[in-house]
Chain A
């Protein structure tokens, strides 16, 4: 049973994990994007549609990433070029994407696809207990796990990461060294949208193998919250996402076991868990918040 929950944690947490890594990149550059929810939805639909048309889930991943990027581009333009309020813009994008995807997604609702399926890694997946949990997943999940250390390395050990983080902390420094901070932020937001889109693809093409209207159910919002919970650290965001996934997997297990707990309470658990996690972490940190982001969260958005 524990193995079931842990396996489920990875399977249903991966979409949130990818989105939260993307959001982390964007927030490190000083832009919070609640439109992540919208980017995930767009990615989920775009990836699903292309998989239906071509039968090739990898093309679906490309398309989903691209759709997520398009949605994030709206955010980047409004926030960075027009100086709009980041939180309000993100929310608007969320509604816009819900409308757009349910409009274009009508014909895909009852479609079925092969998509991504679990590929057990030879030998490793035979390890008792651990093998089943870690080494029996779809290819996207493996890739997403590999992404986290790569992202950490790029953020904290490479020049690229320094530039990105400087955009979120002290943009004057970037100016002084001849780099346009606005451009860095644009790229960060686009990269974030791309990852969120791929997260959406994981949800529709690898996890549920279907498209349903508004299928992300707040996962994008949770991803944004998780980044704050994770103090903007990739590994912790991954952990948080799997915690969310575990809470979702718990629902299935409890239903299967027939325990007398209302399903609606179980549906709430992931969101409550995210809130509780935020509360615990927020109490003992403030200094690690990227400076530009701190201003947004405190409501001091001068534009």
Chain B
């Protein structure tokens, strides 16, 4: 990057334009190559990749319902993606979105079932959202506290805490939060219908998608246009410079981790109020990791994240199609995601210098 910057002023405008086109070409190739490889993998396992990709696109853009399904999947992915991208801008690798989402879902269900049952939508839904945000923040707060006062690496602690969060949710839905009428199935009672998010006719799509987009815009604005955002970016790109400039590094770390937790917790609340209506042990499973991947794919850029979240949403929906249509397990979609990320990770160096 340094060398490039020094060389650029000497080049003519057409050269700059050409190098931009080339880097766009490289980026496109990086995004396409894994799909080709995965296609070969499918071919080797007796599935025609072309029909799969076509049906993937057709089911997404063919009708309103299909598009709604993809957007439904994209919503929590975008939010947990923001939960990874915002700390990443400050140089942290937060993989705790998974656990933060789960605890956010737990808190919001708890409040919805025990305190907000009689409330109208106008009061209840915002309160439930706050509860979810609180849950995510509490869980992220553990990682942040361990990072700042215990000097523990946030990647490892947030990853370990994901397992703890999953067992915490299981504990509650098997015990204190279990539906008394569930005949021993582990799930919570259903939340009051007034607390469900409004739904778009003809789909299952709810208002949560708009919320996710709005948060992506907010995060973009904060990062790009405010002083706080500038400090976060400085810290992420050069910790030493931030130290020398007298920024309070620990406070920034705590702030971005907590903000990430809030976003992931809201994703959990949206899953409950938008789709599920009750908490199950596997509510929102994998979305945290998918969000992390989406953030990686978007180079942690909040607006690009909307696109990558959409893409991953498409792939997840396709995973279901794959399972129904060709008998491949839906987990094989993980392979595609892994391939996509390998190419992105491997190509990044050329981009950064």
- Note all chain B residues with C-beta closer than 8 A to A83: 348-349
- Note all chain A residues with C-beta closer than 8 A to B339: 96
Q: B346 → chain A, closest Cβ, in Å?
A: 4
Residue of B164, B239, B331, B348 touching A102 (CB-CB under 8 A): B331
Residue of A82, A268, A275 touching B157 (CB-CB under 8 A): A275
**Contact flags A64-87 to B (C-beta < 8 A → 1, else 0):** 000000000010011000111101
Chain A residues with CB under 8 Å of chain B are: 34, 74, 77-78, 82-85, 87-89, 91-93, 95-100, 102-103, 106, 213, 217-218, 221-222, 224-225, 228, 262, 264-265, 267-268, 271-272, 274-275, 278-279, 282-283, 286, 297-300, 303
Residue of A77, A82, A96, A98 touching B349 (CB-CB under 8 A): A82
Given A264-B174, A275-B160, A278-B156, residue A103 in contact with residue B338 (CB < 8 A): no
Contact A221 B156 (CB under 8 A): yes
| Binding stretch for chain A, among B61-69, B89-97, B303-311 | B89-97
Least CB separation from A106: chain B residue: B329
Main secondary structure of the interface of A (DSSP, over half): helix
Q: Top 3 A-B pairs ranked by shortest CB distance?
A: A99-B334, A96-B338, A264-B171
- Note all chain A residues with C-beta closer than 8 A to B91: 299-300
Least CB separation from A224: chain B residue: B156
Contact B93 A85 (CB under 8 A): yes
Given A82-B346, A268-B168, residue A87 in contact with residue B338 (CB < 8 A): no
Contact B93 A95 (CB under 8 A): no
**Contact flags B274-289 to A (C-beta < 8 A → 1, else 0):** 0000000000000001
Contact B175 A262 (CB under 8 A): yes
- How far is B165's CA from A272's CA once the two chains are assembled, in angstroms? 11
- Note all chain A residues with C-beta closer than 8 A to B348: 82-85
Given A99-B333, A224-B156, A300-B239, residue A93 in contact with residue B167 (CB < 8 A): no
Q: A90 → chain B, closest Cβ, in Å?
A: 9
- Note all chain B residues with C-beta closer than 8 A to A298: 239
Is B345 at the interface (CB under 8 A from chain A)? Answer: yes
Contact A228 B156 (CB under 8 A): yes
| Binding stretch for chain A, among B12-20, B119-127, B144-152 | B144-152
- How far is B276's CA from A48's CA once the two chains are assembled, in angstroms? 37
- Note all chain A residues with C-beta closer than 8 A to B328: 103
Q: A93 → chain B, closest Cβ, in Å?
A: 7
- How far is B153's CA from A151's CA once the two chains are assembled, in angstroms? 26
- Note all chain B residues with C-beta closer than 8 A to A97: 338
- How far is B333's CA from A81's CA once the two chains are assembled, in angstroms? 27
